[in-house]
A and B are shown apart, each in its own frame.
Chain A
Amino acid sequence: MIRVESLHKVFGPKPDEALRLLAEGRTKDEIREATGDVIGVQDVSFELKPGEFFVIMGLSGSGKSTLLRCINRLIAPTSGRVWLQTDDGEIDVAQAGPSELRRLRQEHLAMVFQRFGLLPHRTVRDNVAYGLEVQRVGHAERVRRADETLEMVGLGGWGDALPSALSGGMQQRVGLARALAAGGKVLLMDEPFSALDPLIKMQMQEEMIRLQRQLGRTIIFITHDLDEALRLGDRIAIMDDGRFVQVGVPETIVTEPRTPYVADFVAHADPTGVITAGTVAVPPEHPRVDELRREPGSRVLSHRTQAEVEIEVADDGRVLGMRADGAGAELVPIDTLLAEEAPTSRYRDRAAVVHADRTLRTLLAARNVCNLPVLVVDDEERLIGLVTEREIIHAIIEKRGHNGDTNGVTA
């Protein structure tokens, strides 16, 4: 959908000289010394599939906003290519002529801004219709599509209001609607929720997830908030000092931070919504799981921290049963357990079954209602591993905590 190749942005008087020095392997400080140039973005490449939600995370000054603006050329990149998939084949935004650039921005590259960027003298409807207006879409069609999009972002009926009458969260919904109404397949979002209250921010993130499921746009989303990145991103790029230091799915970022910079970020992130049950669970082969005895076609296991609980697993991996306190326990899917009213004391006669793709948060919920090892299973209901408090605590501490203990983090 979009393919960025070796993008550089140099600010300053001698960009070509700076690029040459950079290619020679000089450091940024040396280059600034020699040319007075500042490297904003250094050799960034990535490729996005249609419908992908790509989050670029970094602190202020890391170059993330500059990078985003290089993609629609609000800032002209010094070198590199930005290939955009269109009906006429791939077009390089970085090389497009003025009228072609305008067309690409109109039809393909809608943008949402941190400070909303709404036109204060226009009604909400006319703001949302702005992109269509510059595309020369007729008035009636513009109004129809603007109202439709406002409905979609939950602002139906606000079309005649002026932006100043709206709260910050609502103004950003207008900004989002304006971008969606323009119709482009690629959505550039520059810290869109950073200016909002934490509660509103959460709502907007959920809204964003819902809309994305519905619309399937290709999104490049900038943030300085790792929790936000983890919640929204299909893939996350961590940016530092103008470069991508790590790119990966949220779980890899949290569990395998590749540099101290990323680890530092991860140390302050909430892992419960990211780490999957499959990685938390201890597999039957793990030393913490004992094989009590073998039986024909099955074996009986127990978890060291809850040795009194016996789990019988068939040789094909299906869980046959669980016994605790001398009685059989019922195996219940976690969603069934959570749908019921929470018990006054945790179950000892029912065990939770959780799919490997669920998150640490689900495991916590499971342990909250159920005092038996949680069974983590795959698509075919085969046992992947067991989870007790021990694994949950380990996951929370180890995957977050990098300071003083790099084991398990760099693994």
Chain B
Amino acid sequence: MNALLTDAVFDPIRIPLDDWFNDFINWLTFNYRPTFQAMKVPVEALLDGVSAVLLWLPPIAFIALVAIMAWRVAGWRIGALAAVSFTLIGMVGLWDLTMVTLSMVAASVVVCLIIGLPLGILAARSDRFQGGLRPVLDVMQTTPAFVYLVPVVMLFSIGTVAGVIATIIFALPPLIRLTDLGIRQVPEDVIEAAEAFGSSEREVLFKVRLPLALPTIMAGVNQTIMLALSMVVIAALIGAGGLGRPVVEGLNALRIGQAGIGGLAIVLLAIVLDRLTQAFGEGGAAKRG
């Protein structure tokens, strides 16, 4: 009651921002929904392609592939960890859902790379562009996901693709920031040397800046993957498939066990992906000495 009374103090200068926001989204939906729907097409194609492959692959083959890759990149411990984790996921009956989640994560990360790397490179080249981009990234990263779920649904409808798009918005900023940072941290003397030998700007970028920024960019990819995984449950709220679904259903029906194994699978997936991408980044760092 008290709170209401205090709010009344501002009545003379109150602005109906909530209405404006409403109107803006309605206007956007009314006029541009086809545009947003069209944006779904490439994401959907990517998602379908990845999930088709992952669901087609026999689990044994998938486990073997991931284990071997992890062993080559990160050593036998991580290889064993990957094998055990995915076997366990299969044993608790969540294989298909895990593959769907993995394809959602993969699709979001690929789109994040396609958008994030060029933006990061541009931000590193121009202080003004970086200055303009920074508040946008701040908003993307700090706005609670629940807030933009509604507009996402209105513009993109419900479903897995909408979930992927919400995931991209949330997971993109660290990749841009760390690409920018990594490129800016490349020592000036190395760039000068490359220029002195007559390298074009393109050659400096691809032969010097990006390779030397790679460990930092990989840290950004790692962050993006982790954030994408953390969106799995939230994306399920707007009808996305995958491991979020048993968690949300378990939550609604108070089926602790169902939510529990869903959570376990997400955690296992996160650990394996984290160790793998970290090893990629450190591989680059170790090479640099």
Q: Please give me the residue from chain A that is nearest to B212 by CB atom.
A: A121
Q: Contacts A162-B289, A164-B288, A165-B289: A119 and B197 contacting too (C-beta < 8 A)?
A: no
Let me know if B130 is at the binding interface, CB within 8 A.
no
Residues of B within 8 A of A188 (CB): 196
Let me know if B208 is at the binding interface, CB within 8 A.
yes
Docked-complex contact B288 and A182, CB < 8 angstroms? no
Let me know if B59 is at the binding interface, CB within 8 A.
no
Docked-complex contact A135 and B198, CB < 8 angstroms? yes
Residues of A within 8 A of B196 (CB): 72, 74, 105, 109-111, 113, 117, 188
Of the candidates A74, A106, A120, A130, the one whose C-beta lies within 8 Å of that of B192 is: A74
Residues of B within 8 A of A104 (CB): 198
- Which of chain A's residues 102-116 have a Cβ closer than 8 Å to chain B? 102-107, 109-111, 113, 115-116
B interface residues, Cβ below 8 angstroms from A: 189-190, 192-200, 203, 207-208, 211-212, 214, 284, 287-289
Docked-complex contact B194 and A113, CB < 8 angstroms? no
Q: Please give me the residue from chain B that is nearest to A162 by CB atom.
A: B289
Q: Contacts A121-B284, A134-B203: A111 and B197 contacting too (C-beta < 8 A)?
A: yes
- Bound-state CA distance A131–B207 (Å) is 12
Q: Please give me the residue from chain B that is nearest to A111 by CB atom.
A: B196
Docked-complex contact A182 and B197, CB < 8 angstroms? yes
Residues of B within 8 A of A102 (CB): 198-200
Residues of B within 8 A of A165 (CB): 289
- Bound-state CA distance A103–B199 (Å) is 9
Q: Please give me the residue from chain B that is nearest to A72 by CB atom.
A: B196
Residues of B within 8 A of A106 (CB): 197-198
- Bound-state CA distance A106–B284 (Å) is 29
Residues of A within 8 A of B200 (CB): 102, 134
Docked-complex contact A162 and B198, CB < 8 angstroms? no
Docked-complex contact B189 and A115, CB < 8 angstroms? yes
Q: Please give me the residue from chain B that is nearest to A164 by CB atom.
A: B289
Of the candidates A101, A110, A120, the one whose C-beta lies within 8 Å of that of B289 is: A120
Q: Contacts A121-B212, A164-B289: A74 and B189 contacting too (C-beta < 8 A)?
A: no
Of the candidates B192, B212, B214, B288, the one whose C-beta lies within 8 Å of that of A117 is: B192
A-B contact count (CB 8 A): 74
Measured between C-beta atoms, what is the minimum distance from B144 to chain A in Å? 40
Residues of A within 8 A of B197 (CB): 105-106, 110-111, 130-131, 134, 178, 182
Residues of A within 8 A of B195 (CB): 74, 105
Interface size class of A (residues with CB under 8 A): 20 to 34
- Bound-state CA distance A119–B211 (Å) is 9
Docked-complex contact B203 and A118, CB < 8 angstroms? no
Q: Please give me the residue from chain B that is nearest to A105 by CB atom.
A: B198
- Which of chain A's residues 81-111 have a Cβ closer than 8 Å to chain B? 101-107, 109-111
Q: Please give me the residue from chain B that is nearest to A132 by CB atom.
A: B197
Which are the 4 A-B pairs with shortest beta-carbon distances?
Answer: A164-B289, A117-B193, A106-B198, A105-B198
- Which of chain A's residues 145-189 have a Cβ closer than 8 Å to chain B? 162-165, 178, 182, 188
Of the candidates B190, B193, B288, B289, the one whose C-beta lies within 8 Å of that of A111 is: B193
- Bound-state CA distance A219–B148 (Å) is 64
Of the candidates A105, A109, A118, A131, the one whose C-beta lies within 8 Å of that of B190 is: A118
Residues of B within 8 A of A101 (CB): 198
- Bound-state CA distance A104–B287 (Å) is 32
Measured between C-beta atoms, what is the minimum distance from A126 to chain B in Å? 10
Measured between C-beta atoms, what is the minimum distance from A192 to chain B in Å? 12
Residues of A within 8 A of B189 (CB): 113, 115-117
- Bound-state CA distance A105–B198 (Å) is 5
Residues of A within 8 A of B211 (CB): 119, 121
- Bound-state CA distance A117–B189 (Å) is 5
List 7 other contacts, CB 8 Å, given A109-B196, A130-B207, A178-B197: A102-B200, A105-B197, A119-B207, A130-B197, A131-B197, A182-B197, A188-B196
Measured between C-beta atoms, what is the minimum distance from A136 to chain B in Å? 11
Residues of B within 8 A of A121 (CB): 211-212, 214, 284, 287-288
Measured between C-beta atoms, what is the minimum distance from A322 to chain B in Å? 58
Residues of A within 8 A of B214 (CB): 121
Measured between C-beta atoms, what is the minimum distance from A221 to chain B in Å? 15
Docked-complex contact B194 and A130, CB < 8 angstroms? yes
Residues of A within 8 A of B288 (CB): 120-121, 164
- Bound-state CA distance A105–B200 (Å) is 11
- Bound-state CA distance A250–B207 (Å) is 42
Residues of B within 8 A of A133 (CB): 207
Measured between C-beta atoms, what is the minimum distance from A132 to chain B in Å? 9
Measured between C-beta atoms, what is the minimum distance from B261 to chain A in Å? 43
- Bound-state CA distance A111–B195 (Å) is 10
Measured between C-beta atoms, what is the minimum distance from B167 to chain A in Å? 32
Measured between C-beta atoms, what is the minimum distance from B53 to chain A in Å? 32
Q: Please give me the residue from chain A that is nearest to B204 by CB atom.
A: A134
- Bound-state CA distance A239–B203 (Å) is 35
- 22 A-B contacts (beta carbon < 8 Å): A72-B196, A102-B199, A105-B197, A106-B197, A110-B196, A111-B197, A113-B189, A113-B193, A113-B196, A116-B189, A118-B190, A119-B193, A119-B207, A133-B207, A134-B203, A135-B198, A162-B287, A163-B289, A164-B288, A164-B289, A165-B289, A178-B197
Measured between C-beta atoms, what is the minimum distance from B192 to chain A in Å? 6
Q: Contacts A131-B198, A135-B198: A120 and B193 contacting too (C-beta < 8 A)?
A: no
- Bound-state CA distance A163–B287 (Å) is 10
